[in-house]
Chain A
């Protein structure tokens, strides 16, 4: 979900590709899990605005709430869906409703039973209004016919993959109705001291420092969690994180916690391992978005030329120290379900870019530029500014004058999504496997919402794509649906209003004492119930 944009990814310049990922992660399978101990964890960003934010609120509150709250389902490393607070789910024959069996014997941290009322409340009041508002457009209601069952209804057929993805959506938690009912969920004080069903119970939040969670002895998964305490500590400075890890104060850091040289240095000691596992369901990309409201960029050849003019390998090697790969299409390559290589793609070819611009009616006349471009590199990640410089160089080499600006986060949001004050924007996306709506909304007319960030800012839309996405939304046959998504990728890649320049790899660094980590395709948002310390 693009709500994850807030992550502090100053460390995307990770540079251990040359050395490969280092350390061994096989010890966890060789030893029996050990109970007890305190694990101190951190991540590559800052402290959240609240421990739990009903609408998501970005990666930081997702990280701080995922060990406390639980979802109805989760996805494992093989890509299979598994029940969590739901034991099973089954579609009706017309796929317009799903029957979900709720797990029995689950208690909230305050001792009250979790039941269908909590599920109904969560879907109606939290998912529909906040957490999954953009996905639940065809939602028709939810009811509980008996004490163990809820039925979720839709106005149109809903594919199983879509529904299962909804159940394990990053912040589609089951919240306690007795805590939230009758209040504004956004401002409920419980958001800062949550009561939920997860493996850990909230104990304390020392603002500016850390969260302290303790083992939930009444957790429904017998024998879990292994840890007595889990501390989530916030260290703003990456060098400070590296020092804290080296001094033994922090044992695990997710989502690029330290700078590339520190990854190499820490793992070289033999006391740490680094892995890129655990990010398969949250792949980040740096994108280039063309504003089709500008008549120049309304021409497909011009948009195509922009991508031919930029050396994406150079970006991957220099800006991300090799810890990225050129992107191909709107569905990112780690997406096992829907990604296809069979799309139109652009390689670095300035001559072809120049030819395309000539053909589009913008020939170079002596020293005069073909046209001038207002290039905006969104300043929420430092790397975007560096990429902006490479894009500027590439475009100027083919005769396009570039005015590059790198505004800070609020200014970038306003200029890209409210004012549409850009010709080309360097931005970022992090998308899950299900393409609707998180990926498709960048290409459809219903994604054009002025003032709403991380939607269709390019203004691109065609009846063909709109119709195709409508079909993807309701196609319940997995093979046919995949074919439709492949078709969508082909069109989007050829039209090129908004494509990834590079797909990014994220890294977890952990002490060798930390066992059984990075075993979830979105580990930042995992429950960590089975992590243990040797």
Chain B
């Protein structure tokens, strides 16, 4: 039996590796598509960073403007600019940000950890609260608790995250004085982990509760659906306790749609952070992206798009692997 089990485990590992390899190969044209589409979309936007540069720097000499155009390669045809960008990307060169006066990868690197921290904490909160609330609602279906969870989920789903953020600030920072208004750490403080966590609470709530509401709704309906399945009836017939059936059999299978949504929503969580970072002065990539779009800072916008795509691709590969772990039948297909 041990031999059969180990053979099964190694088969799953091989299947997982095959899946990983397939996904990585698929990621190449996907990334290329992201680069090409975003590059073209940005080119379609009227105006360029050159106009902003000359406005901000009061450049009054047309010759200087032409020199800048040449310096930044804007005198090349669009297709040439695209090819140059792809070639540079292949050498892990994301370009130079004229605005921050530093390489794009450095400009993004300054802000990326803050955004990743906010994303991870928000997703963790959303998954934890969403799954737990969905399970409770499904186990107490058509009771007060089910209604309470449903109303709360509807509220957090409907409430705009920027409004929720401001309300949280008013309540917990201004009125109660329990939590900081914004920022990532106390200015002049030690910048320790506890201090950062203290600052992280409100933005995490503002961003995460929206997704928690979605997961709650999906989890509840998924739990109710799976609990009607034959294998659950069989498990009950075998005399397993209700909690054991719920946790070991229903929950595991009901998680599949939630995991699917999680993978799909990684991109939207990144986008949502743009708003939340603005409300809470969180020094993440959202504010950098906002500034870069409004200043037509193409290299930074493209860099963030490419890195954002990478995050989504990696998250989706992780989701696929989690899928295989949750439902071993997937490896067979």
- Are B283 and A208 within 8 A (Cβ)? yes
Across the interface, A414 reaches (CB within 8 A) one of B48, B62, B277, namely B48
Complex: A41 Cα to B86 Cα, angstroms: 43
Interface residues of A in 398-423 (CB under 8 A from B): 407-415, 417-418
Count of B interface residues, CB-CB < 8 Å:
53
Interface residue B304 (Cβ < 8 Å from any Cβ of A)? no
**B187 contacts A414, C-beta separation under 8 Å:** no
Q: Which listed residue (B45, B181, B184) contacts A209, Cβ 8 A?
A: B184
CB-defined contacts of A450 to chain B, threshold 8 Å: 62
Residues of chain A within 8 A of B294, CB atoms compared: 408-410
| Contact B46–A239 (Cβ < 8 Å) | no
Which one of B32-40, B165-173, B321-329 contacts A?
B165-173
B51 touching A208, Cβ below 8 Å? no
Contact A208 B187, CB 8 Å, known A233-B281, A240-B166, A409-B294? no
Q: Which of B48, B51, B114, B181 contacts A244 (CB 8 A)?
A: B181
Bitwise, B27-62 to A at CB < 8 A (1) or not (0) is: 000000000000000000111110110111111111
Q: Are B166 and A239 in contact (CB under 8 A)?
A: yes
Contacts of A130 in B (CB 8 A): 57-58
Q: How many angstroms between the C-alpha atoms of A449 and B290 in the bound complex? A: 30
Closest approach, in angstroms, between the C-beta of A438 and any C-beta of chain B?
Answer: 10
The residue from A2, A58, A237, A418 contacting B279, defined by CB atoms under 8 A apart? A237
Bound: A57/B55 CA distance, A: 8
A247 touches B188 (CB 8 A): no
Q: Is B82 an interface residue (CB 8 A)?
A: no
Do residues B169 and A410 form an inter-chain contact, with CB atoms below 8 A?
A: no
Partner pick for A206 among B162, B277, B283, CB 8 A cutoff? B283
Q: Is the CB of B54 within 8 A of A247?
A: no
Size bin of chain A's contact surface: 35 or more
- Contact A56/B60 with A46-B291, A207-B283 known, Cβ cut-off 8 Å: no
Inter-chain CA distance A38–B189, complex, in Å, is 13
In the complex, A235 has a CB within 8 A of chain B: yes
**Nearest CB of chain A from residue B238's CB, rounded to whole Å:** 56
Chain A 190-228 near chain B by CB (<8 Å), digits 1 or 0: 011000000000000011111010000000000000000
Do B62 and A451 touch (CB < 8 A)? yes
Report which of B49, B56, B188, B277 forms a contact with A53, defined as CB distance below 8 A.
B56
Query: What is the total of A-B residue contacts with beta carbons within 8 Å?
Result: 171
Q: Is the CB of A229 within 8 A of B101?
A: no
A357 interface residue per 8 A CB criterion? no
When the two chains form their complex, are residues A454 and B281 in contact, meaning their CB atoms are under 8 A apart? no
Q: Does A133 contact B (CB under 8 A)?
A: yes
Q: Is the CB of A3 within 8 A of B56?
A: yes
A481 within 8 Å of B (CB atoms): no
Contact of A240 among B99, B100, B280, B290 (CB under 8 A): B280
Residues of B within 8 A of A517 (CB): none
Q: Are A417 and B51 interface neighbours, CB within 8 A? A: yes
Chain B residues with CB under 8 Å of A58's CB are: 56
Q: Is the CB of B46 within 8 A of A415?
A: yes
Residues of B within 8 A of A5 (CB): 55
Cβ-based interface call for B180 (8 A): yes
* A77 within 8 A of partner (CB): no
A229, A231, A235, A408: the one within 8 Å of B281 (CB): A235
Instruction: Assess whether B295 is in contact with A207, with CB atoms less than 8 Å apart.
Output: no
The contact string, 1 if C-beta is below 8 Å from chain B, for chain A 238-251, is 01100110110100
- Which one of B58, B65, B101, B187 contacts A1 once the chains associate, using CB atoms below 8 Å? B58
Complex contact A410–B47 (CB within 8 A)? yes
| Chain B residues within 8 Å of A24, by CB | none
A-B pairs, 3 with minimum CB distance: A208-B283, A410-B47, A55-B57
Q: Contacts A243-B173, A417-B55, A454-B58 given; 17 further ones with Cβ under 8 A?
A: A40-B187, A47-B287, A47-B291, A49-B99, A56-B58, A133-B58, A186-B57, A207-B283, A209-B184, A240-B280, A240-B281, A246-B174, A407-B46, A410-B45, A410-B296, A414-B48, A450-B62
Name B residues whose Cβ lies closer than 8 Å to a Cβ of A: 45-49, 51-52, 54-62, 65, 99-101, 110-111, 114, 162, 166, 169-170, 173-174, 177, 180-185, 187-188, 277-284, 287-288, 290-291, 294-296
A-B CB contact pairs (8 Å), 23 listed:
A6-B55, A58-B56, A130-B57, A133-B60, A134-B60, A192-B101, A206-B283, A207-B283, A208-B281, A208-B288, A209-B183, A212-B188, A233-B281, A237-B166, A239-B169, A240-B182, A243-B169, A244-B181, A410-B46, A411-B45, A411-B47, A451-B51, A451-B62
